[in-house]
Amino acid sequence: MAKVLVEGLHLQPLTPQDIDPDEPLFGGRLDLDSVDALELVMEIERNFGVQLQDDEESRKILHSLRTIAEHIGARTS
């Protein structure tokens, strides 16, 4: 998931190893914005076939790499 985030959102020079799985994606060090959120949702759909809606639940899912991975795992297992 970290690789999808870094490559999909063009966050280089960061590497996937630079991102703590529990680090907030929005409002923290990464400081992603709403455009990044849309791009991330599209990357999740493209790479994992999991769709997210534009609602409060999706905002919780997009909190960190761990919450995204847990959601994808629950939907694909």
pLDDT digits (tens, 9 = 90+) for 2-58: 999 999 999 999 999 999 999 999 988 998 999 999 999 999 999 999 999 888 999
Q: What is the DSSP code string of 54-65? A: SSHHHHHHTTSH
Q: At what angle do helices 34-48 and 65-76 cross, to 10 degrees?
A: 30
pLDDT at position 24 is: 96
pLDDT at position 53 is: 87
Distances (CA, A) of 23 to 27, 39, 48, 53, 77: 10, 18, 21, 22, 25
The 10 Å Cβ neighbour count of residue 22 is 10
Read off the pTM.
Answer: 0.91
pLDDT tier, 77 (very low <50, low <70, confident <90, very high otherwise): confident
pLDDT at position 55 is: 87
